[in-house]
Amino acid sequence: MPLFRATHVADNIYELTGEALQRRGIRLLLADLDNTLVPYGVPLPDEKLKAWRDDLAAHGVALFVLSNNRHEPRPRTFAQGLEVPYIGHAGKPKTPSFFKAMEQMGVTPQETAIVGDQVFTDVLGGNRAGVTTILVKPIRLAGNPGRYVRYAIEVPFRLLSAGGEKV
């Protein structure tokens, strides 16, 4: 089931360098928000995240927050703090938000990647949209029992990507 398999795996976003993404022809990096860029509930980016965004930008890679979070102020506040475009309530794994983001940024699926912590939203949606998919480990599962359950269900699917090439 290749639709559930990520193109690449990484422990966290900081393993993704602007240089490596540029080398692979990526110009747009779509990023899941919760548990990918920061843990749930962290309202604003810190300096480390801003420096990572700057490294991407220096290599011609635009960062774009693509979040399923339904509480509108959350993705907006965070993306504005990071000074990057965003789509909230994105509806991943459905693909319209992926294509809307690519159209807005003027790039093709071949020039686009998504990084996220969930197989059933980020990886599945990205594969359906024809972009490169990068699966990272959730930053923090604590605080919500539902997240453990969801993660447990995903484990066999995560293993499909475990042999994936490092970025």
Does the protein bind Mg ion through residue 154 (CB under 5 A)? Answer: no
For the bound state, the minimum distance from the C-beta of residue 165 to Mg ion, rounded and expressed in Å, comes to: 22
Does the protein bind Mg ion through residue 35 (CB under 5 A)? Answer: yes
Give the binding range for Mg ion (CB under 5 A) out of 25-33, 74-82, 98-106, 124-132. 25-33
Does the protein bind Mg ion through residue 117 (CB under 5 A)? Answer: yes
Does the protein bind Mg ion through residue 34 (CB under 5 A)? Answer: yes
For the bound state, the minimum distance from the C-beta of residue 139 to Mg ion, rounded and expressed in Å, comes to: 9
Does the protein bind Mg ion through residue 32 (CB under 5 A)? Answer: yes
Q: DSSP strand E in 6-163: where?
A: 8-10, 28-31, 62-66, 86-87, 112-116, 132-136
Other CB atoms within a 10 A radius of the CB of residue 83 amount to: 11
> What span, in angstroms and rounded, lies between the C-alpha atoms of 10 and 66?
18
67 or 112: whose CB is closer to Mg ion?
Answer: 67
15 or 59: whose CB is closer to Mg ion?
Answer: 15
59 or 131: whose CB is closer to Mg ion?
Answer: 131
CB 66 within 8 Å of CB 114? yes
Q: Which of 47, 51, 42, 83 is nearest to 65 (CA)?
A: 83
Does the protein bind Mg ion through residue 69 (CB under 5 A)? Answer: no
Give the binding range for Mg ion (CB under 5 A) out of 70-78, 91-99, 109-117, 124-132. 109-117
DSSP secondary structure code for residue 46 in this structure: -
Tokens of 85: 């475009």
For the bound state, the minimum distance from the C-beta of residue 122 to Mg ion, rounded and expressed in Å, comes to: 7
Q: Is the alpha carbon torsion for 57, 59, 60, 65 positive or negative?
A: negative
Tell the residue number behind the tokens 């972009």, with chain if given: 131
- Residues at the interface with Mg ion (CB under 5 A): 32, 34-36, 117
